[in-house]
Amino acid sequence: MKNTVEQRATDALRILSIDAIQRANSGHPGMPMGMADIASVLWSRFLVVDPDDPTWSDRDRFVLSNGHGSMLLYSLLHLSGFPLTMDDLRAFRQFGSVTAGHPEYDLELGIEMTTGPLGQGFATGVGMAIGEAHLRGVLGADLVDHRVYGFVSDGDLMEGVSAEAASLAGHLGLGKITYLYDDNHITIDGTTDLAFTEDVAARFDSYGWHTIAVDGHDREAIADAIAAANEDARPSLVLCRTHIGFGSPNKQDTSASHGSPLGDDEIALTRAAYGWDLPPFEMPADVYDFYRGAMERGRRSRAAWMECRDTAVAADASVAKILASYFDAPALHLGIPHHEAGSSVATRTLSGEVLQEAAGSLPGLIGGSGDLTPSNNSRIETSVDFTSSDRTGRNVRFGIREHAMGSIVNGITLHGGLRGYGATFLTFSDYMRPAVRLGALMGTPSIWVWTHDSVFLGEDGPTHQPVEHLAALRSIPGLRVIRPADPTEVTVAWEMAIGHVSGPTALILTRQGLPVPREPIDRDLVARGGYVRRQGSDAVLIATGSEVPLAEQAAELIGDSGYSIRVVSMPSVEVFLSQDAEYRAAVLGDDLPIATIEAGVTFGWERFSGTTGLRIGIDHFGASAAASVIAEEWGFTPQAVSDRLAAWLSES
């Protein structure tokens, strides 16, 4: 073995990684081998975390954006004393193991987010830094003062989401970000210059970042660079020139070490190159001492923070209430906006009104729009903008960066103490889908506000008219989609979104006005995802959002034909399907034929209508025309819907 403890501790990261990957016969050894020097420096000299309390709120956040190198993180966590055992490392990539192929969010294990889709960790870390800066601005540096560290790769920097996020981070001067770039010149296809020859440092300089280039295997140079980055007021990118598969005699600096095990023969040669003579999964005691001793820094910091918090609470009893208002999620009961019965109001307008009360009751609610604030009604009127000079603002100007907005909102929410929301047109949820999906996978309770929800936005035409989006979003496991129809449903939708802390919620809202019901709506029934709006005995017509009043009008008309139609409003399919069978049967009936109506593709509604039911929708792209013309042309008028229902029932 090599002589210094630090060298052994660094090589230990490489050895654990290649052994676990070889045992699994699957994985990415090149990155852990190449970034081990960077990792050992960061974790032993800088990172402030506490394995005894991995969820401590003022810890540093570490994000492994290049999540394919997951074994590097798992090795660090195990050696540092987090609750990740050697048996967990042996079970790398196996069914049911906590050491999945890419890191999966688990704060108790020290994993701050799920990573793997490149660029997501980079952008989400920007959201974490916004969360830190805002809470520090509100609560003070004695209670909030930590950094966001991240490892990023060529792939992260090629993905567009990182460019969007980096641009915003530089604009906002988020100086608590230090990202270490694994500049190894290798991708799966070969050398990076096949597709990537830009001057990365110059690009980040232009974003307003601090950049510094170092030898990624010179630990003292790495330490000096991190120290310099941490002193700079700008976000920092440390460009570390590394060798992928470092130490492998035949696979270093080749794409062969990126995504495949080294093989037993090459591992034997690599162990010899490191001077490592212990068997697989056996670590020297001094390596454990090296990493676990470094964690005393975090333990001391947490103890000092707790003492500071207790002193602040003792000096001012209101401090405890303020902290609780951020870190204890309340169950809100919001007032329903008053609008005259029979008048017309868009659900996006109602959402903006409800947002004001929600923000007043939940000081940790923070977010904004992708440059569509007046259209989305997404501004908190009682607050200012979050800027480089005022961190107390709760309105984040994301700019026209929907993809980064999705990731950043996830990061704000993952940070803790805050609930992030992001708004844009529903059709642009396509730009956000990777972040929305990842948030659903993590169970991150971000809130998405998507307006202009159908072809009835009118003259902007099919590029802006969502038709397939509701079906696509409902297909994401763990994402709650709520499409409300009136003041009560909008209010309850916000209550449900805020009260749902185990996953994200999408609020789907209209541009056009909808009639305000003349009869009161039972908010408790709304909260069950679907309920009876109008009784009927011959058939059920399920509707959402803007089609609810249309369904009610059609049911009234068809009564003249002798049919009795039960109208069911179903603002959230997911919530309704989670109800007990007895309630679902009471709403839908046991044997009644079922029709559905929604101004979008009909895909997905067969789960209710079956093969014999009627599905009224729009299974094609929209058109540039006034909403009234579109409704007339495509059969979304009360008379047209009534006629289709009558024809269907007469044939049944």
Distance from the Cα of residue 206 to its chain's centroid: 27
Distance from the Cα of residue 555 to its chain's centroid: 40
Measured between alpha carbons, how far is 410 from 400 in angstroms, rounded to an integer? 17
Pair of tokens at residue 2 = 């090599």
In which element (H, E) is residue 301 found?
Answer: helix 296-315
Secondary structure (3-state) at 213: strand
How many Cα atoms occupy the beta-carbon half-sphere of 318 within 13 Å? 1
Contact 181, 125 (CB under 8 A): no
Distance from the Cα of residue 611 to its chain's centroid: 36
Catalytic residue among 112, 266, 402, 489: 402
How many Cα atoms occupy the beta-carbon half-sphere of 89 within 13 Å? 27
Those residues whose C-beta lies under 8 Å from the C-beta of residue 463, and which sit 6 or more positions away, are 427
Measured between alpha carbons, how far is 294 from 79 in angstroms, rounded to an integer? 11
Torsion region of 596: left, alpha or beta (phi above 0 gives left; psi -120 to 50 gives alpha): beta
Give catalytic status of residue 108 as yes or no: no
E strands present in 531-575: 531-534, 539-543, 565-569
Those residues whose C-beta lies under 8 Å from the C-beta of residue 279, and which sit 6 or more positions away, are none
Q: Sign of dihedral through CA atoms 185, 188, 193, 195?
A: negative
Residue labelled with tokens 């029932």: 649
What residues are labeled active site?
402
